[in-house]
Amino acid sequence: MTTTQDRSTDEANATDEPSDPSSSATNPVGHSQPGFELPDGEEPAATCERCARPFPTTMHHDLHLGEVHAEALTGRERERYEDALEAETDELFVYHLKVIAALAGMYAVLVLVYMVVLSL
């Protein structure tokens, strides 16, 4: 059980200094974060030059640069970030449409089953 005092001590010991690139599976304060490791045998499509984090796709790398290292982006990196952000937004919109369609389909089936059960 963690107390408030323990949490405040942990926060006081945390630093904003970048982590060692050789230990890319941890964030700057040493806590493990998902997404920093690739599956065994898979080579990263891109690696961040600033923090040495590997990425499975260049789109993930471009999004990372724009979100984490925004203050140091070049013009070309900013363009790639905006393109990746637009592509991600489009993918998310299509995903939401699919979820709505699935929910509507399940609701329609539920209503039809309920109608059949009530008519018996």
pLDDT tens readout for residues 9-60: 444 444 444 444 444 444 443 334 555 677 788 888 888 888 888 888 899 9
Domain boundaries, the chain: 38-119
pLDDT: which is higher, 59 or 1: 59
pTM, full prediction: 0.58
DSSP H helices, 1-120, are: 4-13, 58-68, 75-119
**Which residues 6+ apart lie within 8 Å of 66 measured at CB?**
73, 77, 78, 81, 82, 84, 85
Query: Could you tell me if 109 and 101 are in contact, meaning their C-beta atoms sit under 8 angstroms apart?
Result: no
The answer to whether the beta carbons of residues 47 and 53 sit under 8 Å apart is yes
Beta bridge partners of 52: none
